[in-house]
C-alpha cells in the first residue's frame, strides 16, 4: 500500500494532476502514510507514546481500549502543539522555467510549496507566501484564517517565470515582510555566486527565523547530457553560446558540483539549512526537511 | 582522358553517402534554452568554428577519396604520342643459348651484336638481359647500369637446351602484364626453323611490345648428326648385344662417314656408312664387350660441319650376371619349368637364369639367394619351406604362385593366405574354355602383354581376393591374376597353371612378354630407358619411397643435390649433356646418358616472310639486321590508374589524420 501512495510523490506523476490543492493533498497524505517508520515526526495532537499508569495520573488519558485487551492501564501521550509562522519565498525568475522533462523547476517549486502549505494547514501553522523575481510579485501575509490555504495555493498557482538578472535585488525588501519569528523557506535555483547568495539571504535570520534554502535544479543542469555541440540560450539574459559535449560533461559538471558544495558549506556555516532538490526526485525530501526544522522549534 | 572500364564510374554514386552523413545529418544548431550560462565560457565557441572548418575539409577529403577510387577502378588512360613514351621504353635483349648456337661461333657473334646495341643505347633507357633456352632465363632486372648488362651478356655460355620462340613470346606476354611502358625486344638468334611452335598464334607479342630480330645465321648450314642410338641398357651376354645407330644429315650432300662405337673412351669398333644427300643411314654393331658394371658408351662420327657437339650420342650400358630364379614344382610336373624357361630365354633383354627344383628337393634351399621364387601348382609344401618363404616375402622377397588342380585341394593358398573357394573346370562345362575378360594394363605384369585373343583357360581356382589387387579376370569374373603385398614383399597369384594342361597360355606369344615383365616386376628391375634429352626430368623416387635419401652425380663428377634435396626432391632436371650417376632410394645404382635434343641439329632457318610476319610487318621485306620495328603510328594509350591509386593512398592518410584530429578536439580543450 505504501509504495503505491509514495508513487504519488513522484514529480512526473504529480504533473498530471490538475489543481495544486489536490497535488498537495496527494503528496502530504502519501508522505504521512509513510511516516510510521519515523516516530520522531508528527502532527500536533498526534500520538507520541504509551506510558504505564502511575497513581496521580489523569484518568482521562488512560487508553481504555488497551485496558480492555490487556487489563493493564496505560496512558496515551500526545505531543504538544506550537503554532509556527511559515513564510515561503518562491523564486519566479525566468531561469526557473527551465525543464528537461515533464516538470519544470517552477512547477516543482509550486508542488513543494503547496505541499508544505497543506502540511502547515493541517498543523494549524500560520503560512505566508512571497513570489519574487527581480522584485516582489506577490505577497500573502502569514495567517491561520479560514481560506488561507486557498489563498496560498491560488497565489502560488499564478506564479509564472518572469525575468531577472539580479538575484540580490528583491531580497532587500523582504525584511519588511518578515517581522515575526518563524520559519522562512527560500525556493530558488540560486544562479549567483555562493558568497553573494549567503550574504543576501543571511539577514532573513536576524529576527530569529529558521531559514531553509531549497536549491531547485533540473537533473540536466546538474549532469548535462549532450551528444553533439549545441547552442545554448540563457533564459534570463538571452545570451547564446555554443557548447561542446566534452566541455559540458567535464568542465561544466565540475563547476556545478563545486557551486553546490560551496553553497551548502557556506549556508551551514551561517546556520542556514540547505537542501538540494532535483526535479526528478520525490517531494518527500522537502516535507521531511520542513518537519525536521519544525520539530526543532517545538 | 578516357576509361578502360567506364562502368566502374557508377561507383561515383557513393559520394552521396558522406554528403548525407556530413551535411544532411549534421547538427542543425537549433538554439536550446538553458537556465543560465554562468558556468560556461566563451572560449568554447571559437574552437567549434575551427572544428567546423575541419569538418568541411574532412568531408571534402572523403568525397575526393570516393571519386578517386571510382576513377581508379574505371582504369583511366591518356593517349600519348609514341615519342613521349620513348624515354620510358624498356629494352629487352634476348640471347639464344640453345644447343645450335654452338655452331660456327654464332653465340659469340650474338654476344657481340648485343654488346654493340647496348653501347648505342641512350643512357636514360633501361635495359634487361635474358637468355633463351628451353625456358627464358632472366639474367638482370631492368637497369641503367651498362656494366651489369655487359656482365650478363658475358655469362651466357650456351647450353644443350632446345630453343622455343613460343616460350619467348609467352614470357614477354607475362612481362607485359607488369611492365606498362613500351617494351622493345631484341632477339639475337640463329632463327632456327625447329624453334617455331606448332601454331603461329603462339608467337604473338603483347600490344606494348615490339620485336627486333638480329639473326646470326643467314642460310642453312649443312650438318651431320648421330640422330638415335638403340642399345640394350642391361647386358649379360655381350656377344648377343646389338647397337644400332642412325646418322642423319641436314642440308648435306651425299657423303661417306665413319661411325665409331666408343666404350669408356676407347674406340671398340668403327665402320663406314654412306649417307645420302639430306638423308639418313644406319650403322649396326654386333656385340658389346663392356666390362662388368656401368660402361659409358657413345656413337661418334667424323664430320667436318660447323656443329661438332652433335657428332656423338651417349648411352650407358650395365653388364651383370643373370639373376637366378627358383621354380619349385611337383616331381611329375616338368612342363611348367619347360615353358617358363623358354619364355625367359626368349625375352630380348632377359637376364634371368631359371633353377627348377622339385618340392622334395627344395626343403633346404634359401629363397633369399634368388631374385624371386615360383611355386608351380604344388600339392603339398613342407612346413619349413612355407615358413621360410613367408619370412622371405615379408623381408622384401617376391613369390609367384601358379595355382592348378593340386593347389585347389588345399583349403588355403600357401603364403598368399586366402581361402580356396572352388576349382572351376570349364572344359567339363558347355563353354569348354574361358578367355581373359578384363586385364588391368596399368599393372606392371600386363603393361606389354596386350594380345590375349585366343588364349584359352580350361581350369581356374576361385580364390577370395581379400586385400589383393585383381590385375586380370576371366570372362566369368573369376580372378586370374592377383597381386598382394605382404610385409615388404609381394605375392603374385595366377589362378591357373603354367603348364599347357589347364590352359594354352604358354603356347601363345603373349606368354613371353607376360613372363618377362612379371620377372622384372618381381625382381625389382624396371625397364631400362634409353638415353634422355637435355631438359627432361628424372624421377628420383616413387610414392612409397619418401624421406629416403637419393644421390645424383652430374657429368662433372659433382653432387647435383643438396642434402635437403636428396631427402625430399621428387624429380631432377637433366640440364647438361653427359653421364649422370644415380643412386636410388632402394639402393640400386643407375647411369643415365643425356644428349641434346636432336631437333637442334637441323640448322635450317626461318623464311624471311615468316620473320616479317612475326615482327608485325606483314608482307614488307625484313631488314634482317633490323633496327627497331616500326611502331604503330597512332597514339599509345597510357594507363594512369597507378597514379590515381597513389593519390588515393595519400587521401586515405590525410583523411585518417584529420579524422583523428577532429575527434581529439574535445579532449584537448576539455583538458585545457
Domain spans in chain B, listed from the N-terminal domain onward: 2-27+42-80+640-671, 83-219, 223-320, 323-523, 533-595
Chain centroid to Cα B100, Å, comes to 22
List the grid coordinates of B47.
Answer: 574552437
Helix (H, G, I), strand (E, B) or coil at B510: coil
pLDDT, tens only, B182-221: 888 999 999 998 888 888 888 888 888 889 999 998 888 8
Q: Which backbone phi and psi does B262 adopt, to 5 degrees?
A: -115, 125
Would an 8 Å CB–CB cutoff place A240 in contact with chain B?
Answer: yes
Chain centroid to Cα B532, Å, comes to 13
- Name which of A248-257, B399-408, B636-645 the model is least confident about: B636-645
Chain B residue closest in CA terms to A239: B37
- Give yes or no for a contact between B498 and B325, defined as CB atoms under 8 angstroms apart: no
Surface-to-core class of residue A176, CB atoms within 10 Å of its CB (0-12 exposed, 13-18 middle, 19+ buried): exposed
Continuous segment of H or E residues that includes residue A212: strand A210-217
Band of the pLDDT at B658, cuts 50, 70, 90? confident
Residue A66: CB partners within 8 Å, gap ≥ 6?
A50, A72, A74, A76
Best probe of the A interface among B34, B46, B671, by most A CBs < 10 A, is B34
Helix (H, G, I), strand (E, B) or coil at A111: helix
**pLDDT value of residue B8:** 82
CA angle A186/A190/A193 to nearest 5° reads 130
Band of the pLDDT at B396, cuts 50, 70, 90? confident
Chain centroid to Cα B434, Å, comes to 43
- CA nearest B577: which of B290, B224, B298? B298
- Name which of A116-130, B343-357, B425-439 the model is least confident about: B343-357
Q: Is the pLDDT of residue B257 over 80?
A: yes
> Does domain B323-523 sit in CATH 3.40.50.880?
yes
How close does chain A come to B13, measured CA to CA in Å?
28
Band of the pLDDT at B41, cuts 50, 70, 90? confident
Give this prediction's pTM: 0.51
**Is B29's CB within 8 Å of A242's CB?**
yes
Q: Which CATH class is domain A83-297?
A: alpha beta
**pLDDT value of residue B670:** 38
A–B interface: beta-carbon pairs under 8 A: 88
**pLDDT value of residue B620:** 41
- CA nearest B550: which of B566, B532, B534? B566
Q: Is the pLDDT of residue B297 over 80?
A: yes
Chain A residue closest in CA terms to B38: A191
Q: Give the mean model confidence (pLDDT) for residues B548-569.
A: 86
Would an 8 Å CB–CB cutoff place A229 in contact with chain B?
Answer: yes
Range(s) for CATH 3.40.50.410 in chain A? 83-297
**Is A230's CB within 8 Å of B29's CB?**
yes
Q: Give the mean model confidence (pLDDT) for residues B443-457.
A: 84
Chain A residue closest in CA terms to B40: A252
Of A64-68, B16-20, B428-432, B639-643, the range with the highest mean pLDDT is A64-68
| Closest Cβ–Cβ partner in B34, B41, B670 for A98 | B34
Residues in chain B: 672
Q: Is the pLDDT of residue A195 over 50?
A: yes
For residues B577 and B536, give the distance between their C-alpha atoms in angstroms, rounded to a whole number. 11
Would an 8 Å CB–CB cutoff place B25 in contact with chain A?
Answer: no
Band of the pLDDT at B470, cuts 50, 70, 90? very high
Q: Give the mean model confidence (pLDDT) for residues A182-209.
A: 85
- Give yes or no for a contact between A242 and B48, defined as CB atoms under 8 angstroms apart: yes
Q: B83-219 with B323-523: one CATH topology?
A: yes
Q: Which CATH class is domain B223-320?
A: mainly beta
- Give yes or no for a contact between B329 and B362, defined as CB atoms under 8 angstroms apart: no
- Give yes or no for a contact between B243 and B284, defined as CB atoms under 8 angstroms apart: yes
DSSP-assigned beta bridge partners for residue B186: B93, B212
Band of the pLDDT at B242, cuts 50, 70, 90? confident
Would an 8 Å CB–CB cutoff place A261 in contact with chain B?
Answer: no
**pLDDT value of residue B79:** 78
**Is B37's CB within 8 Å of A105's CB?**
no
pLDDT, tens only, B531-557: 788 888 887 876 666 667 888 999 988
Q: Is the pLDDT of residue A28 over 80?
A: no
Would an 8 Å CB–CB cutoff place B668 in contact with chain A?
Answer: no
**Is A230's CB within 8 Å of B45's CB?**
no
Band of the pLDDT at B13, cuts 50, 70, 90? confident
Of A197-201, B32-36, B237-241, B592-596, the range with the highest mean pLDDT is B592-596
Residue A221: CB partners within 8 Å, gap ≥ 6?
A98, A100, A189, A256, B34, B35
Neighbours of B554 (CB within 10 A): 18
How close does chain A come to B641, measured CA to CA in Å?
40
pLDDT, tens only, B603-627: 888 988 888 888 875 444 444 444 4
The CATH number of the structural domain formed by B83-219 is 3.40.50.410
Band of the pLDDT at A13, cuts 50, 70, 90? low
Amino acid at each position: 500500500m505504501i509504495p503505491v501512495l509514495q508513487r504519488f510523490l513522484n514529480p512526473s506523476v504529480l504533473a498530471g494532476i490538475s489543481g495544486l490543492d489536490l497535488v498537495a493533498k496527494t503528496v502530504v497524505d502519501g508522505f504521512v502514510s509513510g511516516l510510521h517508520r519515523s516516530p520522531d515526526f508528527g502532527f500536533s495532537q498526534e500520538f507520541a507514546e504509551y506510558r504505564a499508569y502511575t497513581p496521580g495520573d489523569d484518568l482521562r488519558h488512560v487508553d481504555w481500549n488497551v485496558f480492555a485487551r490487556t487489563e493493564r492501564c496505560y496512558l496515551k501521550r500526545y505531543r504538544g502543539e506550537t503554532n509556527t509562522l511559515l513564510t515561503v519565498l518562491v523564486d519566479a525568475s525566468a531561469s526557473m522555467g527551465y525543464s528537461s522533462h515533464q516538470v519544470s523547476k517552477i512547477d516543482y517549486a509550486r508542488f513543494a510549496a503547496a505541499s508544505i502549505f497543506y502540511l502547515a494547514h493541517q498543523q494549524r501553522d500560520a503560512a505566508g507566501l512571497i513570489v519574487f523575481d527581480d522584485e516582489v510579485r506577490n505577497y500573502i501575509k502569514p495567517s491561520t484564517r479560514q481560506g488561507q490555504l486557498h489563498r496560498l495555493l491560488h497565489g502560488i498557482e499564478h506564479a509564472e517565470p518572469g525575468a531577472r538578472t539580479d538575484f540580490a535585488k528583491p531580497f532587500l525588501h523582504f525584511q519588511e515582510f518578515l517581522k515575526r519569528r518563524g520559519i522562512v523557506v527560500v525556493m530558488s535555483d540560486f544562479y549567483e555566486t555562493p558568497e553573494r547568495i549567503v550574504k543576501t539571504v543571511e539577514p532573513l535570520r536576524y529576527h530569529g527565523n529558521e531559514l531553509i534554502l531549497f536549491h531547485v535544479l533540473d537533473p540536466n543542469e546538474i549532469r548535462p547530457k549532450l551528444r553533439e555541440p549545441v547552442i545554448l540560450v540563457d533564459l534570463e539574459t538571452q545570451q547564446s553560446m555554443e557548447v561542446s559535449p566534452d566541455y559540458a560533461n567535464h568542465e561544466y559538471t565540475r563547476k556545478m558540483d563545486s557551486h553546490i558544495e560551496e553553497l551548502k558549506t557556506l549556508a551551514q556555516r551561517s546556520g542556514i539549512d540547505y537542501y538540494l532538490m532535483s526535479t526528478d526526485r520525490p517531494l518527500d525530501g522537502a516535507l521531511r526537511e520542513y518537519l525536521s526544522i519544525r520539530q526543532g522549534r517545538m | 582522358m578516357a576509361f578502360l572500364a567506364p562502368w566502374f564510374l557508377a561507383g561515383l554514386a557513393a559520394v552521396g553517402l558522406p554528403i548525407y552523413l556530413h551535411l544532411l545529418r549534421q547538427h542543425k544548431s537549433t538554439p536550446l534554452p538553458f537556465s543560465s550560462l554562468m558556468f560556461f565560457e566563451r572560449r568554447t565557441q571559437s574552437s567549434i568554428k575551427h572544428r567546423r572548418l575541419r569538418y568541411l575539409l574532412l568531408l571534402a577529403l572523403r568525397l575526393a577519396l570516393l571519386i578517386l577510387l571510382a576513377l581508379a577502378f574505371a582504369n583511366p588512360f591518356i593517349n600519348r604520342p609514341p615519342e613521349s613514351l620513348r624515354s620510358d621504353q624498356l629494352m629487352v635483349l634476348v640471347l639464344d643459348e640453345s644447343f645450335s648456337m654452338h655452331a660456327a661461333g654464332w653465340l659469340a657473334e650474338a654476344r657481340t651484336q648485343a654488346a654493340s646495341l647496348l653501347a648505342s643505347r641512350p643512357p636514360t633507357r633501361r635495359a634487361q638481359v635474358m637468355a633463351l633456352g628451353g625456358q627464358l632465363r632472366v639474367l638482370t632486372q631492368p637497369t641503367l647500369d651498362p656494366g651489369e648488362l655487359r656482365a650478363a651478356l658475358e655469362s651466357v655460355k650456351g647450353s644443350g637446351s632446345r630453343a622455343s620462340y613460343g616460350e619467348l613470346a609467352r614470357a614477354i606476354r607475362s612481362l607485359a602484364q607488369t611492365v606498362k611502358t613500351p617494351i622493345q625486344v631484341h632477339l639475337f638468334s640463329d632463327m632456327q626453323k625447329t624453334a617455331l611452335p606448332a601454331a603461329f598464334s603462339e608467337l604473338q607479342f603483347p600490344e606494348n611490345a615490339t620485336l627486333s630480330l638480329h639473326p646470326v645465321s643467314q642460310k642453312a648450314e649443312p650438318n651431320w648428326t648421330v640422330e638415335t642410338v638403340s642399345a640394350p641398357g642391361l647386358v649379360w651376354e655381350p656377344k648377343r648385344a646389338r647397337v644400332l645407330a642412325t646418322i642423319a644429315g641436314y642440308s648435306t650432300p651425299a657423303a661417306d662417314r665413319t661411325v665409331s662405337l666408343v666404350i669408356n673412351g676407347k674406340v671398340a669398333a668403327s665402320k663406314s656408312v654412306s649417307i645420302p644427300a639430306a638423308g639418313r643411314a644406319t650403322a649396326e654393331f654386333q656385340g658389346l664387350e663392356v666390362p662388368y658394371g656401368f660402361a659409358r658408351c657413345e656413337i661418334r662420327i667424323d664430320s667436318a660441319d660447323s656443329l661438332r657437339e652433335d657428332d656423338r650420342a651417349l648411352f650407358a650400358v650395365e653388364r651383370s650376371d643373370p639373376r637366378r630364379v627358383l621354380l619349385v614344382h611337383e616331381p611329375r610336373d616338368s612342363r611348367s619349368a619347360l615353358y617358363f624357361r623358354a619364355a625367359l630365354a626368349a625375352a630380348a633383354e632377359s637376364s634371368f637364369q631359371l633353377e627348377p627344383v622339385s618340392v622334395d628337393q627344395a626343403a633346404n634351399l634359401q629363397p633369399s639367394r634368388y631374385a624371386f621364387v615360383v611355386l608351380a601348382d604344388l600339392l603339398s609344401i613342407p612346413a619349413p619351406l612355407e615358413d621360410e618363404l613367408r619370412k622371405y616375402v615379408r623381408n622384401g622377397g617376391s613369390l609367384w604362385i601358379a595355382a592348378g588342380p593340386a593347389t585347389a585341394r588345399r583349403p588355403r593358398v600357401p603364403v598368399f593366405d586366402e581361402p580356396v573357394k572352388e576349382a572351376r573346370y570349364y572344359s567339363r562345362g558347355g563353354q569348354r574354355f574361358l578367355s581373359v575378360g578384363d586385364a588391368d594394363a596399368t599393372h606392371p605384369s600386363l603393361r606389354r602383354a596386350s594380345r590375349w585373343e585366343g588364349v584359352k583357360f580350361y581350369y581356374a581356382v576361385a580364390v577370395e581376393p581379400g586385400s589383393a589387387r585383381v590385375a586380370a579376370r576371366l570372362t566369368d569374373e573369376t580372378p586370374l591374376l592377383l597381386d598382394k603385398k605382404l610385409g615388404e614383399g609381394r605375392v603374385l597369384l595366377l589362378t591357373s597353371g603354367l603348364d599347357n594342361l589347364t590352359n594354352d597360355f604358354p603356347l601363345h606369344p603373349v606368354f613371353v612378354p607376360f613372363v618377362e615383365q612379371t620377372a622384372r616386376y618381381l625382381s625389382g628391375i624396371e625397364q631400362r630407358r634409353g638415353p634422355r634429352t637435355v631438359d627432361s626430368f628424372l624421377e628420383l623416387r616413387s610414392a612409397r619411397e619418401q624421406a629416403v635419401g637419393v644421390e645424383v652425380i652430374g657429368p662433372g663428377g659433382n653432387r647435383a643435390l643438396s642434402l635437403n634435396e636428396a631427402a625430399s626432391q621428387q624429380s631432377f632436371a637433366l640440364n647438361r649433356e653427359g653421364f649422370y650417376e644415380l643412386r636410388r632410394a632402394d639402393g640400386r645404382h643407375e647411369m643415365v646418358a643425356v644428349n641434346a635434343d636432336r631437333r637442334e641439329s637441323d640448322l635450317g632457318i626461318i623464311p624471311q616472310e615468316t620473320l616479317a610476319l612475326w615482327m608485325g610487318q606483314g608482307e614488307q621485306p625484313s631488314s634482317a639486321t633490323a633496327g627497331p620495328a616500326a611502331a604503330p603510328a597512332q597514339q599509345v594509350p597510357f594507363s594512369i590508374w597507378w597514379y590515381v591509386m597513389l593519390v588515393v593512398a595519400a587521401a586515405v592518410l590525410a583523411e585518417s589524420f584529420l579524422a583523428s584530429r577532429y575527434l581529439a578536439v574535445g579532449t584537448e580543450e576539455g583538458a585545457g
